Structure 1
Amino acid sequence: MLALSIIAHPSPTSFSHAMAAQAGAVLRATGFAVREHDLYAEGFNPVQPVVEALNTASDDELVERHCAELQQADLILVFHPNWWSQPPAILKGWIDRVFRLNTAYAYPEGAGPDGVPVGLLKAREAFVFNTSNTPVERERDVFGDPLERMWKTSVFGLCGVATVTRRMYGPMAASAAEDRERWIGEVGALVGAAARSFRERSSQ
């Protein structure tokens, strides 16, 4: 059982890192191997140097490693702040380079590039945990919560991941220690329930 954990926050003391640490501890306690990547610490290059149709291989060893682990993962977790209703640029570049043709999706035989792609990912469940300084209600009612559609439909849904759980915590700037403790507890509970369910299904 393999979980892929991606962190996209420039500060190693961020709440994104704290959530990832909690999730990783819970996953390891339930028998998962965890491949954890801090994109900023790794110096991941987010620049996609070729057009989408040619993005099937890379001479960047780190990109190839991420692609291999994405294919192998049974569970995928992503941790990032909400910046302008979008992920940080480094994470958008990670999607561009790693969720690539013939790794995360493909076109049916005979279909052109305008056809409907099919998902290739092994994982059937993913989690996205966001932090924000915008209240959840304002993000939803004023901005339309574009991160929800991006992750659930445009990224994971297209690539074959059927169940996507997303939570946004904040406003972080106004949060108290009790708030953060409660949010960390929810992250652990959500991930733990998914891990136990997966393990039970795998043993049947």
Structure 2
Amino acid sequence: MKATVILAHPYAKSFNHAIYGTICATLKELGVPTYAHDLYAERFDPVLTVDELGKKPTQDALVRQYTRELVESDVLFFVHPNWWGQPPAMLKGYVDRVFRPPYTYDFPPEDSGGGLPIGKLAGKTGVVFNTSNTEETREKEYFGDPLENIWIQCVFGFCGIEKSHRRMFSIIADSTSEDRAAWLAEVAETTRKMVGR
């Protein structure tokens, strides 16, 4: 059992950082080997290069490392805010550069008559924790909860991940210390469940 934990928030005192810290501390307590990355702190370059299109191997050592760790991990955690119904550009760039063929998905050989893409992350579990300042009913009824579709269908589903969990914590701006403590306790409990411990 191994885990990858990816954080995408630029402010070091954000609640996203508290979530990330709780996940990492819980995994450490459980003895789960963990690859943990704060994309902003590591100055990850989110820009996909023309040389990385298709299946050409990237020359970026950090992207190669992230990809190897992702493939080796059994549980994948992602922590980020809800910005305009999307992940921050930093995390979108991570998905563009790391979730790529032939590692996370691939296509059938041309001589097989084509067909649907083949997800290569089957058997893994995907977990997403988001923060938002939008009230839950408005997020779901007016906006249609776009992050749910992005992660569960477009990323995890496309790559073959069938077991997933996503939780949006809101409203962050007016949350109390009691709210945040309860949310972090929930993060720890969910982390334990996702790694089966």
TM range (shorter): over 0.9
Secondary structure of the structure 1 residue equivalent to 2:158:
coil
- State the partner residue of 1:201: none
CA contact (8 A) 1:46 1:93 kept: yes
- Give the alignment's Cα RMSD to 1 decimal: 1.8
Correspondence 1:27 to 2:27: yes
CA contact (8 A) 2:8 2:79 kept: yes
- State the partner residue of 2:179: 179
CA apart distance, 1:31: 2.0
Correspondence 1:101 to 2:101: yes
Secondary structure of the structure 2 residue equivalent to 1:167:
strand
Secondary structure of the structure 2 residue equivalent to 1:164:
strand
CA contact (8 A) 2:133 2:173 kept: yes
- State the partner residue of 2:84: 84
The letter for the 1-side match of 2:176 is A
CA distance in 2, matches of 1:41, 1:100: 23
CA apart distance, 1:153: 0.6
CA distance in 2, matches of 1:111, 1:82: 42
CA contact (8 A) 1:107 1:113 kept: no
CA apart distance, 1:178: 0.6
Secondary structure of the structure 1 residue equivalent to 2:110:
coil
CA contact (8 A) 2:73 2:124 kept: no
Correspondence 1:140 to 2:140: yes
Percent of counterpart pairs with the same letter?
43
- State the partner residue of 1:155: 155
CA distance in 1, matches of 2:191, 2:113: 36
1:163/1:113 CA distance change after superposition, 3 Å: farther
CA distance in 1, matches of 2:31, 2:74: 12
The letter for the 1-side match of 2:76 is I
CA apart distance, 1:110: 3.1
Work out the number of aligned pairs and report it: 197
CA distance in 2, matches of 1:106, 1:149: 21
- Write out aligned runs for 1:48-67 (5 A): 48-50=48-50, 53-67=53-67
CA distance in 2, matches of 1:136, 1:174: 14
The letter for the 1-side match of 2:12 is P
The letter for the 2-side match of 1:192 is R
The letter for the 2-side match of 1:156 is F
CA contact (8 A) 2:108 2:114 kept: no
1:97/1:7 CA distance change after superposition, 3 Å: same
